[in-house]
């Protein structure tokens, strides 16, 4: 836990330490802004969502348990959840804007993954999936793609996509939990 400065700051936030909250914003907002921009794809909305993210972080800090995961992982989970909620709540929720962007940056993401042990295991486990299915999982995680988006992108019926993805996820779990 001492090697997780973000976790430490979140715990201080839980103790109502506002200086820690500012430090947390300083140290993590660029990453969370990156997550929001990638998923909601509009700067004004991303900035609005970023305010909401840190509001939630402050209010929920007491629920964070460093024994259950790293601080940054917790922050990114809150951020992705909000971003995806907003995406799904859009009237044009099936829009396929930004698909190209997701495809372009996915390989770059993976080359960087290899640098870290944890991330390497992830990459190895992705390798056990058919490339197209691994690509679908990544596109959903990083780009916020829905089943509808994925089915269109891979040109398969919605139910086929769902079956594919569910099986792939369970396979991924088996590999990662080994």
Partner 1 sequence: MTDAPLTPRDADDAEAAEYVLGVQSLAERTASAARVKRDPEFAAMVADWENRFEGLNDGFDEAPAPNLLPAIEARLFPKPAKSPSRSGLWRWVSGAVFATAVVLLGLATLVPPKPALVAVLATADARLAYEVRHFGGELQITRVAGVPAVAGRVHELWLIAPGAAPISLGLLDRAELVVDYPRPPEGWTLAVSIEPAGGSPIGSPTGPVILAVEVGAET
Q: Which residues ranging from 81 to 110 are in contact with partner 1 (CB under 8 A)?
A: 81-82, 84-89, 93, 105-106, 108-110
162's tokens: 């769902």
What is the rounded CA–CA span in Å between residue 156 and residue 58? 42
CB of 71 to partner 1, least distance (A): 11
Q: Total binding residues for partner 1 by CB under 8 A?
A: 82
Binding of partner 1 by 22 (CB under 8 A): yes
- Taken in order 88, 147, 40, 134, is the CA torsion positive or negative? positive
Among 1, 73, 101, 132, the residue binding partner 1 under the rule CB under 8 A is 73
CB of 155 to partner 1, least distance (A): 16
C-alpha torsion angle, residues 136, 139, 140, 142 (rounded to 10): 150
Binding of partner 1 by 59 (CB under 8 A): yes
127's tokens: 């390798």
Binding of partner 1 by 62 (CB under 8 A): yes
Select 9 or 164, whichever has its Cβ closest to partner 1: 164
Region of 67 (left: φ > 0; alpha: ψ -120 to 50; beta: rest) is: alpha
CB of 8 to partner 1, least distance (A): 18
Nearest to 104 by CA among 27, 158, 38, 7: 38
Among 58, 95, 98, 99, the residue binding partner 1 under the rule CB under 8 A is 58
Binding of partner 1 by 141 (CB under 8 A): yes
């Amino acid at each position: 836990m001492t090697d997780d400065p973000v976790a430490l700051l979140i715990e201080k936030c839980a103790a109502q330490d506002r200086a820690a909250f500012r430090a947390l914003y300083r140290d993590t907002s660029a990453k969370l802004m990156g997550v929001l921009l990638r998923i909601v794809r509009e700067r004004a909305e991303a900035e609005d969502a970023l305010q909401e993210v840190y509001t939630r972080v402050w209010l929920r800090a007491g629920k964070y348990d460093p024994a259950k995961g790293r601080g940054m992982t917790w922050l990114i989970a809150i951020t992705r959840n909000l971003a995806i909620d907003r995406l799904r709540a859009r009237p044009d929720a099936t829009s396929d804007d930004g698909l190209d962007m997701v495809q372009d940056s996915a390989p770059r993401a993976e080359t960087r993954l290899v640098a870290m042990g944890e991330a390497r295991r992830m990459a190895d486990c992705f390798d056990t999936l058919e490339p197209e299915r691994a690509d679908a999982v990544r596109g959903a995680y990083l780009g916020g793609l829905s089943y509808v988006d994925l089915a269109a992108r891979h040109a398969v019926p919605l139910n086929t996509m769902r079956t594919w993805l569910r099986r792939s996820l369970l396979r991924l779990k088996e590999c990662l939990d080994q």
